[in-house]
Structure 1
Amino acid sequence: AQADKAKQWGIAQKQTGADTFTLGGSLSSNVHGRGLAMKPLISNIESFTLINADGKSICCSRDENKELFGLAIGGYGLFGLIDSVTLRLVPRQKLRRVVEIIRGGDLPKRFEERIAQKFLYGDFQFSVDEKSPDFLQRGVFSCYQPIDEHEPIVARKELRDDDWLELLRLAYTDREKAFTRYSDYYLSTNGQTYWSDTNQLSAYLPNYARKIREQIGGEESSLIITEIYVPRSDLPNFLAQVAELLRSNHTIAIYGTVRLIEKDDESFLAWARKPYACIIFNLLSLHTPAGIEASARSFRGLIDLAIARGGSYYLTYHKFAKPEQVIACHPQFKQFLDLKRKYDPTERFQSDWYRHYRKLFASS
């Protein structure tokens, strides 16, 4: 529809890692992307319609039903069904990818430099080879800089699904080789050009766990993701301490990345309470009692490292946090539960997530 338009519009950001998520679900967990100077998704929402507990359709915006606007965005579906969303679009831009291999200790300064140079997106994908001194300390730093609108979008090198599966297999079996191959691929794409919206699309292999197990055998396992937030200046020390934690717990990280987020001052259950560095870990978790407990110990340890720095963690991914950790990172959480019961007194909208936290704080 925009093919003949001089100025085209697109999304500012989306969640990374996969594309087949609904807008309602993304809104309900207040996702973010790889923006270098962006707030979470709430900043890109103009309004939405909500089907509430009485079955009524109501409009929520910054001017209408403002409290519900802030509660439902990042409210995990507990205040109603998101029926439609009006997004704040941004002009599509052409971008050039700039790739380097850098040290984690340089990240705060390098992120600042890229922001000053008007780069729009970027992240740091670190080595997960726990046997190497580069573990969490060396990574692929990829950022995206606006270019002239008349520059062509050139033919691009892209990995096929089989290539991604092979990289994932190596992350399970030979993490040193996985990082070498991954970084070589990314360096080969330095200078490629993209559209700012379609560049955010991601490959995802929905049956990867079964295929990996067929190839390498072993006990049944899953990757459990977590996202930790710390002040940006604390990032190098945090990564060093995480390396010690994961090694001491014998926890295997299959993938990890560092991004940035700006402060969210609109959603009620805001996870971005400050301008943070966002550190994402995919940890290998065995489907045994001992394996689950080992994962829980590592996830709680990560949260403690964040708390010690005035940081936080993302509530979306797992339920291993202790009550005191939840409150330390999300001090408004009990009030959030109270407001859920105010707007939905019969608790029509429920989930495993909600029932877990309702029970966790039932006696407090």
Structure 2
Amino acid sequence: MKLKWILICFLIYGSAFYSSLHVYSRQSAKETAEDAGKLLPVKMKYFRDVHSTKEIQQWVREADESGETISIAGMQHSQGGHTLYPNGTLLDMTGYSQILNFSPKEKKITVQSGVTWADIQQMINPYGLSIKVMQSQNIFTVGGSLSVNVHGRDIRYGSLIDSVESFRLLKPNGAIINVSRTENSDMFPYVIGGYGLFGVILDVTLELADDELYQHRSAAMNYKEYETYFNEKVKHDDSVKMHLARISVAPESFLKEMYVTDYVLAEDQGNREKYMELKKEEIVALPKFMLGLSRYSDWGKGLLWETQKEFFMNNDGKYETRNNVMRSDSEFMEYENPNRTEVLQEYFVPVDQFAEYINDLRAVLEKEELNLLNITIRYVGHDEDAVLSYAKNDMFALVMLINQGRSEQDIQVTEKVLQKLIDVTLDHDGSYYLPYYSYPSDKQLKRAYPRIEEFFEKKREFDPEERFNNLFYERYGQ
């Protein structure tokens, strides 16, 4: 009996201790913020959970009067401090998430910037409509996606700026303006792809597409064949609407073997309703386990590559709606390690230079220590609407997933390797994507984005007090 009471007391004490520890950890988390890269923990002065336009306007005006600095956050998957600034105010926009207007007839939707792509899909799917441009996963906020001007698997609509009709912007002084291609149009190409430096994007009107039924078409090939395959079988075939490729990082076929998936418009669109139910996360445990193996061994990388290739090749002929293609699983990629993290890099290279570029990339990587886990390849057509456009030509985009340590020494080692990769990319008339850790040098930034000084000058003109700030701007713009 005595032992029983001792155990009960221990459980009560343990529960109380856990609860207090949990509360303490939440309070501690409220003092420090970090983005998805987990390399930039930053102590913030204030955290503001946003729910209304009035709240945001009040906080921005107060900050303007007191001289506080503001940074803006959604899901915080930009990994270079774009949502952080030391001792500043962080506006968490994820609670600012109402769908304000939806017109199926006009194929348009107006949403607050904290709405996720998943929220929009839930609303528009029953009406046979789909999003035009978004990332491969649907977990991100619309405001964050606009701030980095995303692209995705669709090969016909370009980057996100192409599908934006208009948005409302809360300026650094608290005033609100409408921005479109005809109203305050000078701000349109700066704010989209502006990384939160010009103000708060409040709500956005987006153009929508039809939710078509696609059939998967898969093929395996050598990297030297890819450019020809893409030009002949994908780009100039109007029935191909979306496209995704992967290139091997396994030692035996490193940057040589590829497989592709094309999403071809199904001949019988009358079957769409049969497949239109929005899919949820599929089996997660197995791919999560196999990705874990690939982090720690070449054998694991080889096994993951062969398994991925077999899975996608076996999907040849599968039917899937556009909305479901744009709901890729992401849960299996979640990774928690106190000493390591996973970062993304994305390099853009002209289509006609792909094979030569891969040869030069391989030559660097075979000499360097870089724990490269995956490379996916997408296509982005030439599009210079945004001032900081990454698609100066018709480009292949190579998205790299890298496992690295968090120490200063680890960061320096990764920086050295990635700067070499960026030089290779620039030498092939390419560019790199800006939402990731600030490994590139100032010189590399100016080569990749020749209008970057114009961008920073516009930022200082529009926000002379630098009310909106982040670590990306501090690193490159000040």
Deviations 1:31-60 (A, max 9, x none): 000122331100011111111111111111
Q: CA deviation at 1:6?
A: 11
Q: Would the aligned equivalents of 1:341 and 1:347 in 2 still touch at CA under 8 Å?
A: yes
Alignment of 1:189-200 (within 5 A): 189-200=315-326
Q: Distance in 2 between matches of 1:56 and 1:281?
A: 40
Q: Would the aligned equivalents of 2:377 and 2:399 in 1 still touch at CA under 8 Å?
A: yes
Q: CA deviation at 1:68?
A: 0.7
**Residue identity matched to 1:311:** G
Alignment of 1:114-125 (within 5 A): 114-118=234-238, 119-125=240-246
**Residue identity matched to 2:193:** G
**Relative to 1, partners in 2 of residues 1:242 and 1:299: Cα closer, same or farther, differing over 3 Å?**
same
Alignment of 1:168-183 (within 5 A): 168-172=291-295, 173=297, 174-183=300-309
SS across alignment from 1:339:
helix
Q: CA deviation at 1:165?
A: 0.5
Number of aligned positions between the proteins: 349
Deviations 1:323-356 (A, max 9, x none): 1111011111111111101111111111111111
- Stretch deviating more after TM superposition (174-183 or 106-115): 106-115
Match of 2:368 in 1: 249
1:187 is aligned to 2:313: yes
1:126 is aligned to 2:252: no
Runs (4 or more) in structure 1 with deviation over 4 Å come to: 1-7, 152-159
**Residue identity matched to 2:285:** D
Q: CA deviation at 1:206?
A: 8.0
1:15 is aligned to 2:135: yes
Q: Distance in 2 between matches of 1:310 and 1:357?
A: 22
Q: Distance in 2 between matches of 1:94 and 1:207?
A: 27
**Residue identity matched to 1:289:** E
Alignment of 1:146-165 (within 5 A): 146-147=265-266, 148-151=268-271, 153=274, 159-165=282-288
Deviations 1:143-177 (A, max 9, x none): 10011211354599984121231231132131111
Match of 1:341 in 2: 460
SS across alignment from 1:35:
coil
Match of 1:107 in 2: 226
**Residue identity matched to 1:123:** L
Specify every segment of 5 or more residues in structure 2 that has no aligned partner in the other structure, as ranges.
1-101, 105-122
Match of 1:362 in 2: none
Match of 1:75 in 2: 194
1:166 is aligned to 2:289: yes
Q: Distance in 2 between matches of 1:200 and 1:6?
A: 16
Match of 1:30 among 141, 149, 155: 149
Deviations 1:62-102 (A, max 9, x none): 00111111100000011111111111111111101111222
Specify every segment of 5 or more residues in structure 1 that has no aligned partner in the other structure, as ranges.
214-218, 360-364
Q: Distance in 1 between matches of 2:224 and 2:381?
A: 21
Alignment of 1:1-364 (within 5 A): 8-16=128-136, 18-112=137-231, 113-118=233-238, 119-129=240-250, 131-132=251-252, 134-147=253-266, 148-151=268-271, 153=274, 159-172=282-295, 173=297, 174-205=300-331, 208-210=334-336, 213=337, 220-359=339-478
- Stretch deviating more after TM superposition (236-245 or 47-56): 236-245
SS across alignment from 2:378:
strand
Q: Distance in 1 between matches of 2:264 and 2:450?
A: 37
**Relative to 1, partners in 2 of residues 1:49 and 1:204: Cα closer, same or farther, differing over 3 Å?**
same
Q: Distance in 2 between matches of 1:124 and 1:57?
A: 42
Q: Distance in 2 between matches of 1:232 and 1:274?
A: 8
**Relative to 1, partners in 2 of residues 1:345 and 1:220: Cα closer, same or farther, differing over 3 Å?**
same
**Relative to 1, partners in 2 of residues 1:5 and 1:183: Cα closer, same or farther, differing over 3 Å?**
closer
Which structure ranks higher in relative contact order (CA pairs < 8 Å, sequence separation ≥ 6)?
A: 1
Q: Would the aligned equivalents of 2:294 and 2:301 in 1 still touch at CA under 8 Å?
A: yes
Q: CA deviation at 1:229?
A: 1.1
**Residue identity matched to 1:61:** S
SS across alignment from 2:178:
strand
Q: Distance in 1 between matches of 2:202 and 2:359?
A: 44
Deviations 1:119-162 (A, max 9, x none): 01111111111x21x21221220110011211354599984121
Q: Distance in 2 between matches of 1:157 and 1:184?
A: 22
Q: CA deviation at 1:289?
A: 3.0
Root-mean-square deviation (CA, aligned residues, Å) is 2.3
Q: With structure 2 as the length reference, what TM-score do the two structures score? A: 0.69
SS across alignment from 1:163:
helix
Q: CA deviation at 1:276?
A: 1.1
SS across alignment from 1:39:
coil
- Stretch deviating more after TM superposition (33-42 or 82-91): 33-42
Q: With structure 1 as the length reference, what TM-score do the two structures score? A: 0.90
Q: Distance in 1 between matches of 2:161 and 2:212?
A: 21
Q: Would the aligned equivalents of 1:246 and 1:252 in 2 still touch at CA under 8 Å?
A: no
Q: Distance in 1 between matches of 2:452 and 2:168?
A: 24
**Residue identity matched to 1:309:** H
SS across alignment from 2:453:
helix
**Relative to 1, partners in 2 of residues 1:169 and 1:5: Cα closer, same or farther, differing over 3 Å?**
closer
